[in-house]
Amino acid sequence: MGIGGANDPMRLAGFSGEEIAAALEFCDNDRQKSLAWLKKKQNGKGGVRWQEALKTALPAMQAAPRVKECLTWILEYDNVPLKPKQFKNFVKNSLALQRDQATVDAMWEAFAPLMKKPPQPAAKPKPAAAPAPAKRKRQEDVAAPPAEKKKTKKAEKGGAQFGKEERKELKRLKAAKMEAGSLGKEDKARLKQLKAAKKASKQ
């Protein structure tokens, strides 16, 4: 199974001897089918579609008219090599540029950037999850220290706090009631309030 000489189309297209041998084996030694198979594989997933890239770039390309004209001509070929040495040999032979090395070099300089794959867009970072809102504490829990929470709740139920001074006042009013037999309207109301506060303080 011959791999072919230096002028073999697959050689001119820049394929290695190993690639050509594999293609010939895959295509039953049909050289035309082998070249088409290699080009399809080269321009497949992840490859560079140079013809599309060249067509897009030509209108705005900063190159001499002669260079742009020659690049337009190579669009008619399917077996253009994508490596510098093979590319230059190909255009020399295909476009009869053996005596115009400057144009050949300028063609590669304009063609080479088209072989670079476009950069993949960077993945956008996911937005950070917003922290869960803290549960709002009851106003009385924030205002009162832990030691006074129980006392505050009792005061809410009894209507007033019942401390040392309140105990003294309760004893005085009870003694006055026992002594006089009855109390005035204000003292009665105060006595009732103190009793309720005392009861609430025991809950």
Q: Quote the CA–CA distance of 176 and 112 in Å, as a whole number.
A: 113
Q: Quote the CA–CA distance of 192 and 181 in Å, as a whole number.
A: 16
Q: Quote the CA–CA distance of 183 and 181 in Å, as a whole number.
A: 7
pLDDT of 42 reads: 65
pLDDT of 44 reads: 52
pLDDT of 155 reads: 46
pLDDT of 35 reads: 80
Q: Which of 172, 168, 166 is nearest to 199 (CA)?
A: 166
Under a CB-based contact definition with an 8 Å cutoff, are residues 2 and 30 in contact?
no
Using one digit for the tens of pLDDT, what is the confidence trace for 38-47? Answer: 777 666 544 5
Using one digit for the tens of pLDDT, what is the confidence trace for 46-94? Answer: 455 788 888 899 999 999 999 999 999 998 887 788 888 988 998 999 8
pLDDT < 50 positions in the chain: 1, 45-46, 119, 140, 152, 154-159
pLDDT of 82 reads: 82
pLDDT of 108 reads: 94
Q: Which of 124, 116, 125 is nearest to 49 (CA)?
A: 116
